[in-house]
Chains A and B, each alone.
Chain A
């Protein structure tokens, strides 16, 4: 019965999103705060240090934190405005219950818990334990990520737990494990400073990781050349030394061709290849036919640009290669990542000062959240849930019989598919808004409507939670202590600035209470977040993501500690692989052959235009948080269809015209924004909005066979002019997800 209980308008009226603005005179007491709390931004993987001002147990403003070494006070607009959530009129203050025809009504915690647990038991008794699934997210701290991994397996006893990291960096994780045996960026950001060449593929750095821009410019001031691979001229690409405007879905062809040029010109580190890698010949053999002409034809990038990129990369003494969702959100996301790693390994530039490689993790705890067990195939310390030794080790720590530890479950999108097929009947979610963030979301909505019971833990009523039976009012980032691991592998401390308002509870307390009622209370008896972290330390010990030597005290004293950190006297590891001993079975870094293949959907006569999606600087992911902050909404109020004037002219499209974009999944209308900063065969729509203006109505749900990441970044579409200009009404209401 997970359909909306009343009209969407009525839900929005009560629960928003509403735009919140700071009063002109500031929140009461902001300029005389009771305390100023050092913590971090709640948004992206940079995890910038920030200080929150608190008056009367409310967050009222911020003050830059100059001493935190990564950002030294620097922030993006989201960071500046992040304080507006704790005090927000949409903030959930009570558990809620769905009442048909009425909406969502506040109820007592005891009733909410009782209903939740009785439904879990009913569904599991009737259909089996795995018929109740769990979806989590990596905006959660390490403590919560660890605890949810344990909760799903030990209290809920289901195999079907996965997380929204599945839409984030799993292709990079899988590629890194294949090549290096560890899933982490190889260097801290400070190694960018003296890199001679920086190559960034598929990352709109200045909009999605704005504070990283400073590091890129520092390197450029020291003479670095910047190469950007992106179908659009993004703000970071605008001033780059070389921009390769690649056709979406052809990244591995580009990197394959570059590998061939490196080989043909002998721009190789033969000593490194010989002594510290395996698979070089196979990788080279896979690209032997990838000539410049071929690459130009496939990727749409001019041959001389590819040649120049290869030459700069090949001849450099130091370099840093970074990539993000642009190359990872593909049915060959892992292949794309491996094709990048191949050129890093061929030139041996890793494990040395100013020689680095890595993914730029997107979510706040995208790094730590993917290490400690809330992936469907993983146990803490980045252990493998199918590995008997790993299962035994974790079962002992958790105090359970190994036979009772569920096996590998379904990945996030597969879980939705299983719900749609009627195999999974119940769902608990936290920190995940799949109705906006998953592809082909009409299908996701159909799946949600088939659930017999859905309970959501969240601090706002996000679009997916509109379909819930019970909503448990949880905690914001600033309402619960914990740690997160930043995109550079630095474990940092999140401090509790305020307690949850009203009757909302800390997520940790909600999970503990659910566990108790499910009969596993003795396994979830944590006095505080630090107690969870201390168990995580033990559970990660000896794993590839080893946190054993990291303590709250050490984090606070050192402004973060880089994992792996296996013992209390270990300094942490800002730079991996200095000893050239890789974490693979043979101790070598692995080349992997990457033959090029097409995306799952290519253009044809019916759908002749390439559609790609991404983000804007003022919004974050599914927008559940940022579409509630007035100034961030006003900065970019609605999704626009970026289209090149030449392509637009074929359809008679003018700037501001309302255009129907149709794919095999559905169609939606967007105002056209005519810009010369995009390829002539590709259109772009940002995806932060729900309802009728959700770009993910159009995207395709096909998955990478290894990482199971959906192919958000490329599909085929058709453009149809509606014959009218876009209305202001559309612009004024887009943030609410009608």
Chain B
């Protein structure tokens, strides 16, 4: 493999309030050579009857990824940059443990191929100094890929948060969610 140009200063930020529900991220994600026209990022209405608000879910790339922990085939790995890679296709046994374990509901088992697939933060692009496809095309920049310093300057009213409480479980992630100033963690009960 060529020497990686992965820039560790570049981080992935998600600001749900900016999401306009256009699905450009999904369409662009599906274009990746390894994705077979399937998207690894998902946009949904929260409740269309009352609001046009949408939510976008990308792999959060956990510090201690539950998907990798529960994988009996050791198919999911986290690299030195903190990117949690999609299942190694020669190892994945399609058991869906990761699908059930992920607190964010990210991995999807593709029945046709009997494989789990998920976002690997466009490793082919990010390791070549480019932005991930979804954050590149996102027209509102709800998905933002840049340095911590850039986002601090550009969006002074919000702060990145990457600590989640799921009941007793605390999860830290590589991907950050932009929250109102003062927020330090997101509590999901």
Contact = CB atoms under 8 A, between A and B. Distances in A.
B31 A62 contact: yes
Contacts of B23: 77, 617-618, 635
B21 A75 contact: no
Interface stretch (B77-85, B101-109, B149-157): B149-157
| B contact residues, range | 20 to 34
A11 B133 CA distance: 38
A213 B24 contact: no
Interface string B102-145: 00000000000000000000000000000101001111110000
Nearest to A218: B154
Interface string A432-450: 0000000000000000000
B102 to A, nearest CB: 24
Contact of B24 (A61, A76, A233): A76
B22 A77 contact: yes
Interface string A199-213: 000000011001101
Nearest to A81: B27
A103 interface: no
Interface of A: 21-26, 31, 61-62, 64, 66, 71, 73-77, 79-81, 206-207, 210-211, 213-214, 217-218, 221, 233-236, 238-239, 617-618, 631, 635, 645, 655, 673-677
- Which of A64, A218, A236 counts the most chain B CB atoms within 10 A? A64
B169 interface: no
Contact of B51 (A218, A635, A677): A677
Given A26-B33, A80-B28, A207-B22, 20 more contacts: A31-B33, A73-B131, A74-B139, A75-B24, A75-B139, A80-B24, A80-B137, A206-B139, A210-B139, A210-B140, A211-B139, A213-B139, A214-B140, A214-B141, A217-B18, A221-B154, A235-B20, A238-B52, A675-B48, A677-B51
A271 to B, nearest CB: 34
A234 B140 CA distance: 14
Interface in B1-40: 17-18, 20-24, 26-28, 30-31, 33, 36-37
B28 A75 contact: yes
B156 A221 contact: yes
A218 B131 CA distance: 20
Contacts of B140: 206, 210, 213-214, 217
Nearest to B151: A221
Given A235-B52, A676-B49, A217 B37 contact: no
A236 B54 CA distance: 12
A23 B37 contact: yes
A392 to B, nearest CB: 46
Contacts of A23: 37
A644 to B, nearest CB: 10
A213 B22 CA distance: 11
B189 to A, nearest CB: 25
B50 A676 contact: yes
- Which of A25, A26, A75, A81 counts the most chain B CB atoms within 10 A? A75
Contacts of B26: 77
B53 interface: yes
B168 to A, nearest CB: 33
Contact of B37 (A24, A31, A213): A24
23 contacts: A25-B36, A26-B31, A26-B33, A31-B33, A74-B139, A75-B139, A76-B24, A76-B139, A77-B22, A80-B24, A80-B31, A206-B140, A207-B22, A210-B22, A210-B140, A213-B140, A217-B18, A221-B157, A239-B17, A631-B27, A631-B30, A674-B49, A676-B50
- Which of B27, B33, B156 counts the most chain A CB atoms within 10 A? B27
A218 B23 CA distance: 21
Nearest to B37: A24
A207 B20 contact: yes
- Which of B22, B23, B28 counts the most chain A CB atoms within 10 A? B22
A615 B20 CA distance: 14
A26 B137 CA distance: 19
Contact of A77 (B27, B51, B53, B156): B27
A655 B45 CA distance: 16
- Which of B37, B52, B53, B156 counts the most chain A CB atoms within 10 A? B52
Contacts of B52: 233-235, 238, 677
A730 B70 CA distance: 44
Contacts of B139: 71, 74-76, 206, 210-211, 213-214
The 8 closest A-B pairs by CB, nearest first: A206-B20, A210-B139, A235-B20, A213-B140, A80-B27, A24-B36, A211-B139, A75-B137
A207 B21 CA distance: 9
Interface in B132-189: 133, 136-141, 154-157
- Which of B23, B133, B136, B155 counts the most chain A CB atoms within 10 A? B23
B19 to A, nearest CB: 8
B94 to A, nearest CB: 18
B34 to A, nearest CB: 10
A77 B22 CA distance: 7
B104 to A, nearest CB: 23
A223 to B, nearest CB: 9
B141 to A, nearest CB: 5
A228 to B, nearest CB: 12
A207 to B, nearest CB: 7
Nearest to A22: B37
Contacts of A218: 154
A230 B26 CA distance: 28
A24 B37 CA distance: 5
Contacts of A221: 154-157
A618 B53 CA distance: 17
A210 B136 contact: no
Contacts of A618: 22-23
A235 B21 CA distance: 8
A239 B17 CA distance: 7
B23 to A, nearest CB: 5
Contacts of A24: 36-37
A74 B138 contact: yes
Contacts of B31: 22, 26, 61-62, 80
A189 B49 CA distance: 33
Contacts of A31: 33
- Which of B31, B137, B141, B155 counts the most chain A CB atoms within 10 A? B137
A617 B27 CA distance: 13
Contacts of A207: 20, 22
Nearest to A234: B52
Nearest to B50: A676
A484 B140 CA distance: 24
A635 B133 CA distance: 19
A22 B39 CA distance: 13
- Which of A66, A80, A213, A674 counts the most chain B CB atoms within 10 A? A80
Given A217-B18, A631-B27, A675-B48, A74 B53 contact: no
- Which of A221, A236, A618 counts the most chain B CB atoms within 10 A? A221
B49 A238 contact: no
Nearest to B113: A24
Contacts of A21: 37
B22 A76 contact: yes
Contacts of A631: 27, 30
Contact of B141 (A206, A217, A234, A677): A217
Contacts of A238: 51-53
Contacts of A25: 36
